[in-house]
Amino acid sequence: MTEQTPVASRARVRVWDLPTRLVHWLLVAGVAASWWTGETGRLEWHRWSGYGLLGLVLFRLYWGFFGGSTARFGRFLRGPRTVLAYLRGAWEAVPGHNPLGALSVVALLALLATQIALGLFAVDVDGIESGPLSEFVSFEAGRAAADWHGALFDLLLWLIALHIAAVVYYGLVKKQNLAAAMLHGERELPPGQPAVQHASALRLVVGIALAALLTWLVARAFRL
Amino acid sequence: MPRRPSMRFCSAVFVPALLAVAVHAATPQEAQKVRHEHYEELGDAFKAVRDNSKGDSPDWAALGKATQTVVDASIDQQKWFAKGTGPEAGKTRALPEIWAKPADFTAAQKMFSDRAPKLLAAVQAKDAAGVRAAFKEVGGACKNCHDNFRAPEDN
């Protein structure tokens, strides 16, 4: 546990803990790998990158409930009124995602989770390649999942583009380097901000174990 | 009422003749549609082989049925590409190369019909590892032909 007491003067604060940052950049690598293997028909590798992404998203969902304060959905998700207040500039900043950025986080995670789920059931047009859970659905349902998997990926790309555009906007207009903050995890914050609470190592170990176990089970179609 | 011999002769000659005409009268578009359905059936069967060959105790009855469909298709598909059923007849991913390079196409089709019986043999021998190996081999034959004679998906 660090930064238990409110920050006294403008100081560098560890806003994003290591698991949150690592998951973020591994998701970037995983999506890139899945894109490339999917487009070039390397389906064996595509399954592996998909399993990697599944584990990451499962861990991030766990971390959204049991992780540090800035990673928790309950802390950063706010109602439409707060989002509007933020847009009007009438929002009192706290460390972590702003109300609008929070929506982007949740939208990206939800779309990624849906995309992975569809991939698990997808079947290629020849019935040769398929996701690990496709044996539980018919050929037609697997084909439908594959079609949605393709269509939703375009939407995911648009959302990623919007996410990057927002980060660039904050850098150019608001002079806040969000990408660097996601690398080293630190932000300079004015005094009087509520403290950032980090989760214990035990919670981290439990989260990794749970995500790995669930991913392993899914990849084996729940055959023990 | 017993039919007269002449009528029986008529049936024996004309009914098959009419049937033959009916088959040949199918439009290229109909032939494309039937071909598409055949390949969907094959994809369905291939998925069934894959699904049922996972794990240590495969469903041999289901595997046998699906594999028989694959073997039958490997022979029948040699009749599914009549002249005039390419892109000129309508929307299809069948490339003109099928008809431009008939020897290559026949060789690609033969790869499938040569390998499919190995899959059936492995199923009949109840050799789970052999089924998975043969599945990969047959899949390779599908892919070989698709890479050369089928247009990429347009989405």
**Domain A17-219, CATH among 2.60.34.30, 1.20.950.20, 3.40.630.30, 3.40.605.10:** 1.20.950.20
CA A68 – CA B106 distance, rounded (Å): 63
Which residue does chain A place closest to B142, by CA atoms? A126
CA A67 – CA A204 distance, rounded (Å): 8
CA A222 – CA A135 distance, rounded (Å): 11
pLDDT given at position A223: 85
pLDDT at residue B11 greater than cutoff 80: no
Full pLDDT tens readout for chain A, 224 residues: 444 555 456 778 889 999 999 999 999 999 999 999 999 989 999 999 999 999 999 999 999 999 999 999 998 998 899 999 998 888 877 888 989 989 999 999 999 999 999 999 999 988 888 999 999 999 999 999 999 999 999 999 999 999 999 999 999 998 889 999 999 999 888 777 888 899 999 999 999 999 999 999 999 999 88
**Contact check, Cβ <8 Å, B47/A147:** no
Tell me the H-state helices in chain B: 5-25, 28-52, 60-76, 97-100, 102-124, 128-149
Which A residues 17-76 touch B at CB under 8 Å? Answer: none
For residue B90, is it within any domain? yes
pLDDT tens, position by position, B102-126:
999 999 999 999 999 999 999 999 9
**Contact check, Cβ <8 Å, A139/B40:** yes
CA B144 – CA B86 distance, rounded (Å): 19
For residue B143, is it within any domain? yes
| Sign of CA pseudo-dihedral A111, A112, A115, A116 | negative
**Contact check, Cβ <8 Å, A126/B43:** yes
Give backbone dihedrals phi and psi of A98, rounded to 5 degrees, phi first: -80, 165
Contact B85, B32 (CB under 8 A): yes
CA A224 – CA A217 distance, rounded (Å): 7
What is the pTM assigned to this prediction?
Answer: 0.83
Question: Which residues are registered as beta bridge partners of A13?
Answer: A187
pLDDT given at position A187: 86
pLDDT given at position B101: 95
CA distance B37 to chain A (A): 12
For residue B95, is it within any domain? yes
**Contact check, Cβ <8 Å, B139/A142:** no
In three-state secondary structure terms, A80 is: helix
Give the range of the structural domain holding residue B60, as residue numbers without chain letter: 28-149
pLDDT given at position A7: 46
For residue B22, is it within any domain? no
Specify the CATH number for the domain of residue B65. Answer: 1.20.120.10
pLDDT grade, residue B154 (50/70/90)?
low
pLDDT at residue B36 greater than cutoff 90: yes
pLDDT tens, position by position, B42-57:
999 999 999 888 877 7
Contact A185, A16 (CB under 8 A): yes
pLDDT grade, residue B16 (50/70/90)?
low
Domains contained in chain B, number: 1
Delimit the domains of chain A by residue range: 17-219
Cα dist from A42 to A9, A20, A50, B132, B137, whole Å: 53, 29, 12, 19, 17
Give the CB-side neighbour count of residue B144, counting CA atoms within 13 A: 17
pLDDT at residue B1 greater than cutoff 60: no
